[in-house]
Amino acid sequence: MELEMATMASTIGVSVPVLRFLLCFVATIPVSFFWRFVPGTLPKHLYSAISGALLSYLSFGFSSNLHFLVPMLLGYASMVLYRKRCGIITFFIGFGYLIGWYVLRSIRTYGFYAGQDFNRRETKLDGATITYTDHVYYMSGDAWKEGGIDATGALMVLTLKVISCAMNYNDGLLKEDNLRAAQKKYRLLRLPSLIEYFGYCLCCGSQFAGPVYEMKDYLEWTERKGVWNPSEKQPSPFFATLRALIQAAICMALYFYLVPHYPLTRFTDPVYHEWGFWKRLSYQYMAGLTARWKYYFIWSISEASVIISGLGFSGWTDSSPPKPQWDRAKNVDVLGVELVKSAAEIPLVWNIQVSTWLRYYVYERLVKQGTKPGFFQLLATQTISAVWHGLYPGYIIFFVQSALMIAGSKTIYRWQRALPQNMGLVKKMMAFMNFAYTMMTLSYSCVGFMVLSMHETIASYGSVYYIGTIIPSLLVILGYVIKPGKPARSKARKAE
């Protein structure tokens, strides 16, 4: 069986762990579809939990489920034993375990970030040597970089689910007047049962790549309440599922076409450093574009899975005729990312559900009532996101850099917004400048996310003279020096 997997993996050009993951990942679509035919609320919870655990076992091995149980059970225990502080307790437990996973797996595999991969093995097939690894990779960053996969991504998604559930249960004790809109919407007044909790965490393999969703939505979906009430009109999921699958196929085809032309190894190739400035900068853009198609593929498959289950349905549009919305399943807007007008809009179109989680459970909760968020809240949120992704210098640098990138883009937007209405051409020029700034800084910044190591990140940034760090920093400083007045529209309204 392992030899057959190695043959198939070699044929399509991926590693055995990636093939195993992909087969289980794609299987989440039929598994989610058959959820619709499970009768009764309790059997649905059981089906969600068991199917998710089985897919994890087939993809990552039995030990993955044992590791998943740790934050899940500790989070549930905090809700049972100390509801008043269960949110913050689970936050530190979840991230603490995730960090411990990163460190211990790194020591086990590499002797603490040494480059040795002792899991690599070879086999002979028809005179050719096929290289593959043991059942799992143990550090997600290196696994992805080398074309592998591990259980870390699933643990990352579970961590966010466990934390949001505990925080919403904690919010159930608070007065509604003191809560923000998201807290009012998702707070839990009762403790979910253990089987409800397990079904929510592992639902049909949704822990593989998300999207992250709320416990309250999961319960209403299972119990046929809210937008899923049988008395309300229910849409067919098949067209939206087909659209997501076609998008996934296109994205994967583009990734396989581009990746041989724009390998990450080029950043350490002497040839790269012999190129001129503009060619190096354009290569950074193309390398980032190439990598994004892989994520678009993964998220399109997870979107199809959540849509076909029905969980992705979020209501109807106000148009005539009304159209179904599948916002709960959506994790990326491909055109929105590639044509994004401002860096501040990137969280709205890229890794949407995780960005929403960070806004609800980190960013907004760091802002005191009656005050406005500032650069501190943005930097803290991006730092949490970096730690969540992994303990690699490239991740830390990328997310700190992205905070600068977003702050700089907001400065340009404030200047643009303050221009009088009769300066339409200048406004359009400022908008284009923000678009060009965003494309440049995003291409520059994401190199760290891709190459991971400190040396490669600094070398690639230095190859374009740190332009993606210097320009955002200058814009942030200038934003404090050149403070635009209130927009012309606001002044007119005030005069009225």
- DSSP, residue by residue, 175-219: -GGG--HHHHHH--SSPPPHHHHHHHHHGGGTTTT-----HHHHH
Q: Tell me the C-alpha distance between 69 and 59, whole Å.
A: 16
Based on the fold, state whether residues 219 and 97 are members of the same structural domain. Answer: yes
Based on the fold, state whether residues 84 and 219 are members of the same structural domain. Answer: yes
Q: Tell me the C-alpha distance between 102 and 392, whole Å.
A: 10
Based on the fold, state whether residues 45 and 166 are members of the same structural domain. Answer: yes
Q: What is the pTM of this model?
A: 0.87
Residue 286 lies in a domain: no
Residue 308 lies in a domain: no
Residue 189 lies in a domain: yes
Residue 112 lies in a domain: yes
Based on the fold, state whether residues 47 and 191 are members of the same structural domain. Answer: yes
Q: Tell me the C-alpha distance between 92 and 421, whole Å.
A: 49
Based on the fold, state whether residues 337 and 209 are members of the same structural domain. Answer: no
Based on the fold, state whether residues 82 and 216 are members of the same structural domain. Answer: yes
Residue 491 lies in a domain: no
pLDDT tens figures, 74-128: 999 999 999 999 999 999 999 999 999 888 877 765 554 433 333 344 444 344 3
Based on the fold, state whether residues 341 and 219 are members of the same structural domain. Answer: no
Q: Quick one: pLDDT at residue 150?
A: 75
Based on the fold, state whether residues 16 and 160 are members of the same structural domain. Answer: yes
Mean pLDDT of 472-489: 80
Residue 377 lies in a domain: yes
Domain boundary among 223, 238, 259: 223
pLDDT tens figures, 362-416: 999 998 877 888 888 988 999 999 999 988 889 999 999 999 999 999 999 999 8
Q: Quick one: pLDDT at residue 422?
A: 82
Six token digits for residue 335: 């055109």
- CA 99, 20, 266, 450 dihedral sign is negative
pLDDT tier, 1 (very low <50, low <70, confident <90, very high otherwise): low
Residue 393 lies in a domain: yes
Q: Quick one: pLDDT at residue 132?
A: 37
Counting residues of the chain whose pLDDT is more than 90, the rounded percentage is: 66
Residue 196 lies in a domain: yes
- Number of domains present in the structure of the chain: 2
Based on the fold, state whether residues 11 and 133 are members of the same structural domain. Answer: yes
- 54-68, 75-89, 293-307: least confident range: 54-68
Domain boundary among 203, 223, 243: 223
Based on the fold, state whether residues 198 and 343 are members of the same structural domain. Answer: no
- CA 162, 165, 167, 169 dihedral sign is negative
Based on the fold, state whether residues 36 and 181 are members of the same structural domain. Answer: yes
User: Which positions are annotated as active-site residues?
Assistant: 389
Six token digits for residue 421: 């209405």
Domain range for 376 is: 333-485
Q: Tell me the C-alpha distance between 437 and 423, whole Å.
A: 21
- pLDDT surpassing 90 at residue 137: no
Mean pLDDT of 152-157: 92
Domain boundary among 223, 257, 287: 223
